[in-house]
């Protein structure tokens, strides 16, 4: 089924998105009740939100400690070259490092901020030394180790 592209959402769409951000496994009948719609219109809206790219996918939220991945470090990365070709090389290469959970380009005294999740500081040191520092055009890095997580958007 194809939907006309609208690129706008209304209050019901926002309610659907908010409810699914809390629980992406919610059955459509429960979702419909929460947002104040009957099942069929809710299901049609959900399909449209997915087709239009408002909802990109669904994933499992895991417990990092149980997976032995509760060490978080934020790494500032300064590049030696910030022309578009160099930025593209860096972006492509950083996507190949599974320990890098997030990568953000910033307007700052450094170019990128990486969220790196590992089992412990030793593993982080390996990832930093062997993988991050050897990414294309990396001039320098600086690390901030997380001591406690108060709120995490992924959880």
CA dihedral 10, 15, 21, 26 (to 10 degrees): -120
Q: By the 8 A CB rule, do 76 and 142 touch?
A: yes
Query: For residues 133 and 146, what is the distance between their CA atoms, to the nearest angstrom?
Result: 20
Task: Write the pLDDT tens digit of every residue in 67-100.
Answer: 999 999 999 999 999 999 999 999 999 999 999 9
pLDDT beyond 50 at 2: no
Span 53-63, mean pLDDT? 91
Threshold 0.85, pTM exceeds: no
User: Cα(first)–Cα(last) distance of the chain, in Å?
Assistant: 33
pLDDT beyond 60 at 5: no
Query: In this predicted structure, what is the pLDDT of residue 1?
Result: 45
């Amino acid at each position: 089924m194809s939907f006309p592209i609208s690129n706008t959402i209304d209050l019901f769409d926002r309610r659907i998105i908010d409810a699914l951000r809390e629980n992406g496994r919610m059955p459509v009948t429960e979702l419909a009740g929460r947002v104040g719609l009957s099942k069929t219109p809710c299901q049609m809206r959900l399909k449209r939100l997915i087709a239009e790219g408002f909802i990109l996918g669904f994933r499992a939220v895991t417990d990092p400690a149980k997976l032995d991945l509760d060490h978080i470090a934020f790494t500032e990365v300064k590049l030696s070259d910030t022309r578009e070709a160099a930025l593209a090389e860096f972006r492509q290469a950083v996507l190949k490092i599974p320990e890098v959970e997030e990568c953000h380009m910033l307007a700052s005294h450094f170019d990128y901020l990486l969220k790196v999740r590992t089992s412990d500081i030793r593993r982080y040191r390996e990832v930093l030394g062997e993988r991050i520092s050897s990414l294309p055009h990396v001039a320098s890095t600086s690390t901030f180790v997380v001591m406690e997580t108060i709120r995490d958007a992924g959880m």
